[in-house]
Amino acid sequence: MDSAPQAGWTGSEVKASFNAIPSVLYYTRAAHVLGLWKSELLVIGRFLPRPPSRLVEAGCGAGRVTLGLWKMGYSGIVAFDFAGELLDQARRLAAETGAGSIGFHCADATHVTGSDLGQEGAGGFDGALFMFNGLMQIPGRENRRAALRGLHGLCRPGAPLLFTSHDREWAINEQQWWRDESARWSGGTRDPRLTDYGDRLFHDESGEVFIHIPDRAEILGDLAATGWSLHFDAMRSELSEETRAVTDFSDDCRFWVALRNP
């Protein structure tokens, strides 16, 4: 379905929502309590190069995944986010756990470069991550593609990119909602704050949340357009049975592993 012509939810609004107190508390608690999920550990162990490989993590938030990677031996990881309040929490957690060597940087994934991360040259990282649906919380398909291109520029040829999303086609119990949403878009009655079909706004304990929910064809198209090739994908529920704490924190999601084309 075509994108709407008028402006929708903006990156500035997303940034403000992540810097808001409810969101900071929500992600900081997860960083301190949850750590890496069973499914994340499985996919990281299977598809990312072994330590001490150099990894870059986009959308690191309060450091939940970053600190988990550091505990796995990835001592040279570089992480970034555009939400300064969350980065403050990540740096504080790293200092408390003795992981002060982690490089945390304030940068926007839609136009990140090596110099933003204190790196000279391009293409130096052995792998990249954009976890907990972070890529899908960027409004606008072209902006999400810009983020994928940016990560492509940061990584060496053949490097893996690991990210997650929800899956519009997998959520069987929401199919009627999506049929109704399709009718709203076709009839001109959809929420004007939404830019692309698949965008959603909802409230949870972290506040008002924007997220884009793609289908498989969209992800494959975005990877092909930005220099990545799909290597693996599976739903979290297909990979492992998570704890109640994880399923309360996050709905089922799809893991994607792509490889950087030369």
pLDDT of 75 strictly over 80: yes
Convert the pLDDT of each residue in 211-237 to its tens digit. 999 999 999 999 999 999 999 999 999
Q: Which residues contact 26 (CB under 8 A, 6 or more apart)?
A: 204, 205, 206, 207
Query: Could you tell me which residues come within 8 angstroms of residue 244 by beta carbon, excluding any fewer than 6 positions away?
Result: none
CA dist 183 and 177 (Å) reads 10
Residue 73 has pLDDT above 50, yes or no: yes
The average pLDDT across 117-134 equals: 90
Mean predicted confidence (pLDDT) in 116-132: 90
| pLDDT tens digits, one per residue of 131-156 | 999 999 999 999 999 999 999 999 99
Q: What is the pLDDT of residue 11?
A: 87
Helix axes 84-96, 21-33, angle to 10 degrees: 30
pLDDT at residue 20 is higher than 70: yes
How does residue 190 score in pLDDT terms, banded at 50, 70 and 90?
Answer: very high
Ordered domains of the chain (ranges, CATH): 11-170+213-260 (3.40.50.150)
The C-alpha angle with vertex 18 and arms to 140 and 73, in degrees rounded to 5, equals 95
Alpha-helix residue ranges (DSSP H) falling in the chain? 11-19, 21-33, 38-47, 64-71, 84-96, 141-154, 175-187, 216-225, 236-239, 244-249
Task: Tell me 9's DSSP state.
Answer: S
pTM: 0.94
> For residue 212, which phi and psi values (nearest 5 degrees)?
-100, 135
Q: pLDDT band at 8, cuts 50/70/90?
A: low
